[in-house]
Amino acid sequence: MFNNKDINRQEWQTRIEYCLEKKRYVVYSLADRASLMGKVSEFEDFNSAKDAFFKKLDLTVKYNSLRVENNELPEYQSPIWNEKI
């Protein structure tokens, strides 16, 4: 979780931030070269943003685990799904 979209922005992150200008929480994922991947979801309350954040993480694990099981390369290397290689 980060407070500012420009702080500690790195490849393959899923981020939850509070946007002071909009007074909303935003959840989104980054791909290679820290580029935006998918859409940015906005929420008025933290609990809704937290739920979306963990859902994105869960889907990332499921997606990459399935790719490894199908002998395809995952989006990036991680011990979470690489132990299945």
Q: How far is CA 66 from the centre of its chain?
A: 17
Structure tokens at 30: 């980054």
The residue among 50, 52, 26 whose CA lies nearest residue 40 is 26
23-32 contact pairs (CB < 8 A, 24+): 25/49, 27/52, 27/53, 27/56, 29/56, 29/60, 31/75, 32/76
Task: Specify the pLDDT at position 3.
Answer: 61
Q: What is the pLDDT of residues 10-67, one digit of tens each?
A: 788 899 999 999 999 999 988 887 777 888 999 999 999 999 999 999 999 999 999 9
- pLDDT of the residue at 84: 57
pLDDT at res. 2: 58
pLDDT at residue 31, rounded to an integer:
82
Q: Please, where are the H alpha helices in the chain?
A: 46-69, 79-82
